[in-house]
Amino acid sequence: MFSTWKSWTVQSLAVPWKPNSHASQQSTSTQNNLQESLTPEELSAVEIFKQARLSVVHIIALESARDLLKKEWEGIFGLPGEEQNPRGAGTGFVWDNQHVVTNHHVMAGSKEAKVRFFDSTEELEAKLVGTDPDHDIALLRLVQLPKNDLVPLTRGISEHLLVGQRVYAIGNPFGLEYTLTTGVISGLGREIASRVGRPMFNIIQTDAAINPGNSGGPLLDSRGKLIGVNCAIASPSGAFAGIGFAIPVDTVKKVVEQIMQFGRAIRPSLGIFFAPEQLGRRLGLEKGLLILYLRPNGPAEKAGLLATKREKGSGRLILGDIVTSIDKRPVNRAVDIYRVLETLNVGDEVVLEVIRDGQRIDKKLTLEEMVEDNNKQNSSDWFRRRQLTCRL
């Protein structure tokens, strides 16, 4: 239902894992001689890479493969019954003195990873702390620390970015470790769909070359500060076509802080299941979103909103409330509500304007955390609702 956000294919950037070796480095004397002939802009790029490469890592996501023979003997001799095999690879970067950030889709299906730093063959063990699929962010904790101290990237502020700024991307495209590409910010405030179909807002667009394997790598400004996390490309072929996307660092900060505190991302919810937009139009709604279901004892139900139902006996369909605005911002598509909720937190109050029996009324409600229904009773009905409705 969100296909209107884009007219291109948005390609995630994780790649299948394959072993790789570092290219030999030039001698210090040779580098010094070369630097004398470089322009100030080139020297700046060289220095940014030299500093940032210490913070960028190659991530190898692992998946469990249980060996049946080991499983048989495990209970007798205490042998391990799990093996960790490489599943895919991507890029990440040091966040603090123990954590590494990457994309959710790099770690999807994995709870452990091997992390390798620049100019090192040592693969360090890391465990997944938590992910936010909606913002394509994952946080790893290093179980093993490298011999040298960790060097977190200095964080910038993505709110102050301007189109035309010089940017630098570091990653492992196609397994070619620690590749630097340069470009500019081509656009700001883009909207793309996450892996789970939820819109991601305020995305940075860049023409710095980004390819599969760059997933989770940093996008840096001309001072070497982190301004985004590379996550996807727009491409008709699956290869780089001049349009790359990065999650803004302001969003990353918020998500990482939540994962550190709660082990998960905290999303505010109205407790409403909306009818798909096309269904509302078929029912004759010119604007607004129709409420199909309400989460039991959720914010919307507590506020007295009404869901669609069938009249007992006759089976006649009685339409529920139609939400036409949230905090005075018009609502015609699900993305309109997503955009407002993106700026709010659990506990904030919002005012929904709804149409009920032809009358406009305002309903104030307090946002609560989005929760999953673990009640297995009527599970088939629950999954039907999830597939047919937009959950907010």
Residue 324: predicted pLDDT: 94
Q: How confident is the model at residue 384 (pLDDT cuts 50, 70, 90)?
A: very low
Which amino acid would we find at residue 316?
R
CATH for 28-142 is 2.40.10.10
Q: Is the pLDDT of residue 5 over 50?
A: no
Residue 47: predicted pLDDT: 95
Least confident of 9-23, 132-146, 371-385: 371-385
For tokens 């081509």, name the residue: 186
Tokens representing 20 are 């790789």
Q: Is the pLDDT of residue 12 over 80?
A: no
Catalytic residue among 58, 105, 134, 207: 105
Mean pLDDT score, 8-17 = 61
Q: Is the pLDDT of residue 171 over 50?
A: yes
Least confident of 36-40, 274-278, 316-320, 385-389: 385-389
Rounded distance between C-alpha atoms, residue 182 and residue 374, angstroms? 46
Residue 112: predicted pLDDT: 95
Residues pairing with 290 in the sheet: 322
**pLDDT tens across 275-287, in order?**
888 887 888 888 8
> Which among 178, 300, 188 has a CA at the least distance from the CA of 250?
188
Residue ranges of E strands in 207-326:
218-220, 226-234, 244-248, 268-269, 272-274, 289-294, 309-310, 317-318, 322-326
Q: When comparing pLDDT for 343 and 312, which is higher?
A: 343
Q: What SS3 class is residue 49? A: helix
Q: Is the pLDDT of residue 62 over 50?
A: yes
Residue 128: predicted pLDDT: 97
Residue 76: predicted pLDDT: 46
DSSP letter for 324, please: E
**pLDDT tens across 32-45, in order?**
666 678 899 999 99
In the chain, where does the domain assigned CATH 2.40.10.10 lie? 3-14+153-262, 28-142
CATH for 268-391 is 2.30.42.10
Catalytic residue among 132, 134, 136, 321: 136
Q: Could you confirm whether 105 is annotated as catalytic?
A: yes
Q: Is the pLDDT of residue 248 over 90?
A: yes
CA distances from 92 to 40, 258, 266, 322, 338 (A): 28, 19, 22, 44, 28
Tokens representing 378 are 């009527």
Q: What share of the chain is helix, strand, coil (3-state, %, to 5)?
A: 20, 35, 40
Residue 89: predicted pLDDT: 87
Residue 25: predicted pLDDT: 54
Rounded distance between C-alpha atoms, residue 73 and residue 91, angstroms? 37
CA distances from 256 to 72, 84, 126, 201, 364 (A): 40, 26, 16, 17, 30
Q: How confident is the model at residue 4 (pLDDT cuts 50, 70, 90)?
A: very low
Residue 72: predicted pLDDT: 47
Residue 310: predicted pLDDT: 86
**pLDDT tens across 63-117, in order?**
865 433 444 444 444 445 455 566 678 999 999 999 999 999 999 989 999 999 9
DSSP letter for 304, please: T
Q: How confident is the model at residue 121 (pLDDT cuts 50, 70, 90)?
A: confident
Rounded distance between C-alpha atoms, residue 335 and residue 276, angstroms? 12
> Which among 21, 207, 186 has a CA at the least distance from the CA of 119?
21
For tokens 């003997």, name the residue: 73
Q: How confident is the model at residue 378 (pLDDT cuts 50, 70, 90)?
A: very low
Catalytic residue among 194, 215, 235, 325: 215
In the chain, where does the domain assigned CATH 2.30.42.10 lie? 268-391
Q: How many other β-carbons are positioned within 10 Å of the β-carbon of residue 357?
A: 8
> Which among 235, 213, 205, 211 has a CA at the least distance from the CA of 9?
235
Q: How many other β-carbons are positioned within 10 Å of the β-carbon of residue 58?
A: 25
Q: Is the pLDDT of residue 54 over 50?
A: yes
Residue 78: predicted pLDDT: 47
Q: How confident is the model at residue 376 (pLDDT cuts 50, 70, 90)?
A: very low
pTM: 0.80
Residue 382: predicted pLDDT: 38
Which amino acid would we find at residue 346?
V
DSSP letter for 197, please: S
Mean pLDDT score, 196-201 = 86
Q: Could you confirm whether 215 is annotated as catalytic?
A: yes
Which class is domain 3-14+153-262? mainly beta
> Which among 180, 199, 212 has a CA at the least distance from the CA of 247?
199
Q: How many other β-carbons are positioned within 10 Å of the β-carbon of residue 344?
A: 15
Rounded distance between C-alpha atoms, residue 220 and residue 230, angstroms? 10
